[in-house]
Structure 1
């Protein structure tokens, strides 16, 4: 099935005053694909360029944006297609006024969080974990590696290091579908105060590519996180790698 032509395009484009052609095309295309069944195919780029009266560069920019947002998929040699609805939802993790943890944040928004524990084992801290936690590189940490999903959609891969000397019982815990920060609060009385973040783009190595089901070398969003308690003592240090098609990161700054 092919995406039908829309006779109101010229009118819609001409009334989008103050809006760039790219934005106008993207918004119009979005409205059209949202009403279609998965598997519907877009007309060719030349057809859409003629329909919207824009250059191929502008049209490609608009389509690429909808592909990035999970509404469309481009198949080499076949065309561009509307995809299944579950790939259209991006679940946002917010970093603002309070350190709540991913599990608590998503469940409070009404979403179901599921966790698969890839590994929970003891390792020497090494760097940069030792520097971030304020311990020796030879000190032992519990390394918790998890795949987190929201409403059944894979969201991110999280690798978290915690000092074993401070949390000796952590290696015996099962964090499948459980909140790490809730456990620390309930078992050790930890009150979270601050979360220092460093956001970067990383090319997926074999470990990330395998677990996030992305191509080797594909760019993913990487967030380094050091969490502190009310006494300004480092509680955990970790890296989270987010799937580009299903995840968003939001920051809130308040004075």
Structure 2
């Protein structure tokens, strides 16, 4: 690609997009070292500072990783969540295939710790593993009042839970979540089917409809080396009176 220095599109951005394109078409594969800053500078006819800016943004986006003394390498793609989306939808948008393994699906008395939030006698407990291209990425445990649900079975729960809720007339408007890092122990190694410890992040979320109705509580654990949750934080300006 020739960089158009007369274009209104910044030079570093043109370079960044071409590097991304080369990765997408397989010129540089996952785990492979891309050209050095010097080589990129000479090949594209741009300054080293421009190259550094393009690579810096690609590192921030999780597309590349720098290894001191070795070079810059292509990262394995991560599942990224930015907005309220089902896991199935997120993975599909990334161009990959997902599958779900149901560990538990049962009707239980509402756990005491949830009774204030979910004041119902019984809830469904749904425990699922979310798998992407053969690797367990997440473990999700959902509690939803039985009164809110129509017919469900294990086969239906292998798909998008958000889409299933739509058949009951519910759409999730927003989620209130708390996140924390956790240490992988032997039980998690078994759950995620790994031999070595990998970083994990735990999410506890309350999922609500547009009218503020708490629909279900979800406790999820994700492999944070495979999954990225991007959070946008806004300051709400108070009304001037």
2:103 corresponds to which of 100, 118, 127: 118
Instruction: Select the residue among 119, 125, 147 that pairs with 1:135.
Output: 119
Q: TM-score, normalised by structure 1?
A: 0.59
Determine which of 201, 221, 226 is the counterpart of 1:246.
226
Query: Is the Cα contact below 8 Å between 2:178 and 2:204 reproduced in 1?
Result: yes
| Cα gap change, 1:206 to 1:28, in 2 (>3 Å) | closer
**Could you tell me which residue of structure 2 aligns to residue 200 of structure 1?**
180
**CA pair 8-90 structure 1, distance change in 2 beyond 3 A:** closer
8 A Cα contact 2:80 2:90, kept in partner? no
Aligned mates of 1:205, 1:124 — CA distance in 2: 29
Instruction: Say what the alpha-carbon RMSD is for the aligned residues.
Output: 3.9
* Secondary structure, aligned partner of 2:89: helix
Structure 1 117/30 Cα, relative in aligned 2: closer, same or farther at 3 Å? Answer: farther
Cα offset, 1:216, TM superposition: 9.2
Offset of residue 129 of structure 1: 2.9
CA displacement 1:70-111 (0-9 Å, x = unmatched): x6xxxxxxxxxxxxxxxx22211223xxx3322223323433
Tell whether the 8 Å contact from 2:104 to 2:125 is kept in structure 1 after alignment. yes
Aligned to 1:212: 192
Note the 1:43-58 alignment, pairs <5 A: none
**TM-score, normalised to structure 2's length?**
0.62
User: Distance between the aligned counterparts of 1:192 and 1:135, measured in 2?
Assistant: 19
Residues 196 and 215 of structure 1, relative CA distance in 2, 3 Å threshold: farther
- Aligned pair in 2 of structure 1 residues 151, 176: CA closer, same or farther (>3 Å)? farther
Residue-pair matches, total = 189
Unaligned residue ranges in structure 1 (runs of 5+): 1-6, 35-70, 72-87
Q: Which residue of 2 aligns with 1:62?
A: none
> In the aligned structure 2, how far is the partner of 1:130 from the partner of 1:205?
29
Q: How does 1:169-188 map to 2 (within 5 A)?
A: 169-170=151-152, 172-175=153-156, 177-186=158-167, 188=168
